[in-house]
Each structure stands twice: as structure tokens, then as C-alpha cells.
Structure 1
Amino acid sequence: MKRHIHSILLLCALLLPGLAAAEVKVGFVNTAKLMEKAPQAKAAISKMEAEFAPREKDLVALQREIKSKEEKLARDGAVMSEAERSKLERELISRKRELKRSQDEFREDLNIRRNEELSKLQRRLYEAIVTLAKEEKFDLILSEGVVFASKRIDITDAVLQHLDKAFKSSK
């Protein structure tokens, strides 16, 4: 991170003497705010929740089933025949394995989809920032690693408005 900031500062130091006569327009974008507030981000979250809700519901049902069988074994185990208790114990072991496998698959699939959506969103944010920078004739847009940015150069809200328009026009 420090190396990245030093590179930017070195670039600015090299460019500023040559640009002393010209006005340099610099902007700052808070990408964390964009990721949180962009309508595309909210839509991606809603889409993923809808996509994974049925599987999550199945996992919860399986957990309840296992808990119910465990309670039955604890409650009635002493009065069950050896064959019944053994069958229930084997069934519990099998269902717990199934639950663990399903949870692992669910987590893995969710992470893959989250990364896909994050990648798409990052591309959209980048495109929106570049488009706005060109439209507003910015010379330099800074993002991460900035310690302070005044409201005068913070274009995050303008990028959000641009993303909002793009989102509404895509519907």
C-alpha cells in the first residue's frame, strides 16, 4: 500500500512542474462508499439472496431434522430396542455427514457467486468513474490510500448518480 502511495506521489511530483502553468483537475472516489451504496451492488445482493434462499432453507430444515432425531435418541434411547437405537444412530451419522457436505458446497458456491458479482460490480464502478472523469475533464482520480480528500475534489456522489442513472436505464 505504501509503495502504491509513493508511486502516486512520485508521479505527481514529476508531472506537477510541467503542469504548473496548466490547471490540474484532481478528483477522489471513495470506492467503499460506492460498493455499499451503488444500486447495482444492492441489486446483486438481492439477486444472490433470492438465488441461495431455497438451498439455505433446505439446510435449516436438515438441521432441524437432525436436532429432532438427536432429541428423540436422548429421550427414548434407553427404552428403544438395540436395533432401533443402532438404526437411529446410523441415520444421525449419515444425516450429519450430508449436512456438513451440503454446508460446504453451499459456502463454496456462495463464495464463487459473490466473487463473480464483485468482479462485475468492480468493472461497472471502474467504467462509471472513467466515464465521469472524461465527461468532467478530470486529469487525475485518486481512490484508496488517500488520507484526506476535501469535498471539492470528492466525486463519489457524482459517480453514484452516474451509476444510478445507468441502473435505471438498464431496467
Structure 2
Amino acid sequence: MTRLLAFVLAVLAVSAPAQTLRVAYVDSLRVMTESAPVKVAESKLRSEFSSREKEIENLTNGLRAATDELREDTPRLSEWDLADRKRQLMERERELQRQRRELNEEWTRRRNEALTEIVDRTNRVIQEIAKSERLDLVVFEDVVFASPRADITDKVIKALSFRDGN
């Protein structure tokens, strides 16, 4: 029985027409730097966080000015006044560091959310292109060699841009 099954499988394998594997490649770095959704997301993030960055810059400049002022006033201050001003500067420095940390954490969180959405959209576009072009495999990263004929990066970038109305 096993010999018969092996014979049938061998006959089927020989008689099946040879099909070529259709493979394509997408340059993920280009997609993540050149596509319209990435540029739009970066622009939105910059505008969303610009006022907070400006505020932190102003706080930094104010702290720097207060430090310079303390340096100039040190010879004229009593020990108690000097200690009090140093304590105030340290509190301002801690507050500035806290605000910087919060800004960085919030920016990173928002950026990751935007990139996750873009990656999901990119994957859907790649799947649509793969289906429409009857591709068997699409490789996204870590390719040693890909002929230009197999590179569908431009199609992906164009499709992503088209979806954004650009």
C-alpha cells in the first residue's frame, strides 16, 4: 500500500507543471522615509510638540540666566540667601528635567502609535499589491540581493500616497 502511495505521489509530482515562484522585495527604509503617511505623521508630531519644546527651551534659558545671576551675586549674598537660591535653582532644574522626560516619553509614545498605524497600512498595501500581481512571496527586510525587477517599493510608496489623497 505504501509503495502504491509513493508511486502515485511520484507520478503526480512529475506530471504537475513546473511553476515559478514569484518573489518581490520592499525596501522598508525607503517606505518609512519617503512615503506620504510618514511625512504627514512627522509633520503632525512636530507641530503638536513644538509649543512644549519651546516652553522647555524657555525654561532652560531662564535657568541658565538665573544660574549666571547667582554666580554674579554670590559674593554679596549671606550664607542663608546663597543656600536658599541654590535650593531654588536645584528645584527648577529638577522640574525642567521632569518636563523634558515627560515630553520625551509622550513624543516616543505618540510616534510609536503613528508608526504602528503606518506599518499596518503598509502591510495591507503590500498584500493588495501581492494579490493583484499574483506574487507568491514578498520579502520586507534583510535581503542580500534583489533585482530591480523584484523591487515593488515604488508601487508601495505610490499606493500609500494615493490613499492619503496626495
Alpha-carbon distance between aligned partners in 2 of 1:64 and 1:20, rounded to the nearest angstrom: 74
Alpha-carbon distance between aligned partners in 1 of 2:125 and 2:16, rounded to the nearest angstrom: 26
Partner of 2:33: 36
Structure 1, unaligned runs of 5 or more: 1-16
Higher CA-based Rg: 2
Partner of 1:168: 165
Partner of 1:104: 101
Corresponding position: 1:45 with 2:46? no
Deviation at residue 124 of structure 1 after TM alignment: 1.0
Q: Cα distance 1:68–1:45, how it changes in 2: closer, same or farther (>3 A)?
A: same
Deviation at residue 134 of structure 1 after TM alignment: 1.1
Which residue identity is paired with 1:97?
Answer: R
Matched-pair contact (CA < 8 Å) for 1:38–1:160: yes
Residue 75 of structure 1, aligned match among 36, 54, 72: 72
Query: Secondary structure at the residue paired with 1:131?
Result: helix
Structure 2, unaligned runs of 5 or more: 1-13
Corresponding position: 1:154 with 2:144? no
Corresponding position: 1:141 with 2:133? no
Alpha-carbon distance between aligned partners in 2 of 1:152 and 1:47, rounded to the nearest angstrom: 35
Which residue identity is paired with 2:38?
Answer: A
Task: Determine what percentage of the aligned residue pairs are the same residue.
Answer: 34
Matched-pair contact (CA < 8 Å) for 1:28–1:142: yes
TM-score (normalizing by structure 2): 0.85
Residue 88 of structure 1, aligned match among 80, 85, 90: 85
Deviation at residue 19 of structure 1 after TM alignment: 7.8
Q: Cα distance 1:75–1:166, how it changes in 2: closer, same or farther (>3 A)?
A: same
TM-score (normalizing by structure 1): 0.82
Deviation at residue 127 of structure 1 after TM alignment: 0.8
Matched-pair contact (CA < 8 Å) for 1:25–1:137: yes
Partner of 2:60: 63
Alpha-carbon distance between aligned partners in 2 of 1:93 and 1:26, rounded to the nearest angstrom: 60
Q: Cα distance 1:84–1:18, how it changes in 2: closer, same or farther (>3 A)?
A: farther
Query: Secondary structure at the residue paired with 2:76?
Result: coil
Matched-pair contact (CA < 8 Å) for 1:29–1:155: yes
The one-character-per-residue Cα deviations of 1:99-119 (angstroms, maximum 9, x if unpaired) are: 111111111111111111111
Alpha-carbon distance between aligned partners in 2 of 1:153 and 1:18, rounded to the nearest angstrom: 29
Deviation at residue 83 of structure 1 after TM alignment: 4.5
Q: Which runs of 4+ in 1 moved over 4 A?
A: 17-20
Alpha-carbon distance between aligned partners in 2 of 1:18 and 1:76, rounded to the nearest angstrom: 95
Deviation at residue 86 of structure 1 after TM alignment: 3.2
Which residue identity is paired with 1:70?
Answer: T
